[in-house]
Structure 1
Amino acid sequence: MLDHVTIAASDLDRSLTFYEAALGALGFVRLDELVDEEEDDAQIEAAGWGEPGGRALIWVVTSPTPTQGVHVGLRAATSAAVEAFHDAALAAGGSEHSGPRRWPLYRRGEFNAIVRDPDGNLVEAVAPE
């Protein structure tokens, strides 16, 4: 079973804005934030999102070497949630990969959208059609 996914970001603030909006549209909430406890006024170095009352499944961490080429697929309850995810992700600094649509050739019975995060990783929301 998958325990969690960690994505390293070149610009953490920009990525936090993106993931907060994109994941929030799917019902995820920020559950954890990690800082260097030895520093006064320490900046966030990592944040994790998951379902309310659950545990963090998706982590975004600061790194001089960002993750690239990852494709994360997330379930959405409805096609409206997929569209909300797409709109929120683009408004928060993501870029278009594949707008909300049906994929009858590859994924019969599903409706999805795929966006790129600020470092170019693909984040997808998939709902039953």
Structure 2
Amino acid sequence: MIIDVIWARGHGNVKATHRNTIEITKDDYITERGDCIIACCADKAASDLDNDFKKLITSGYSLVLMIIVAGSSIDIVTGLGLSGLRLTDERRIIVRRSGYIDNATIMLLANKAAKDLNRDLINKARDSEPIEVILIGSELEQD
């Protein structure tokens, strides 16, 4: 099991209404159109993740947990890592309900998208609170 942590903050334009993805960006703003973005000003993008974490989640099938914390509010998203993940995006991290992979994708077949996240957490993000994102990668045993 390998853990990595991302620090970010919310923004007044956080909507978190997207049905398929969750995004965290290093950009210092969120536009009105960014309905999948839950945090900005992140200290890491996909390319900045811990090398051991990246190696684990791209070495075949792996379990990926994302724990999102804002103040006393928390939510947990689960999904899969896969050998096709590129993890080269220098601005964004994206969690997807689908199997689509691009340079920012860090998790596939997630159990939640932005619209499914705890609304208290999203309200805190909308109030620009600091957000801690804990990523946990674990190998899945294959038969």
TM-score normalised by length of structure 1: 0.28
Which structure exhibits the higher relative contact order, with contacts defined as CA atoms closer than 8 Å and separated by 6 or more residues?
2
User: Whose helix fraction is larger, Structure 1's or Structure 2's?
Assistant: 1
Larger Rg: 1
TM-score normalised by length of structure 2: 0.26
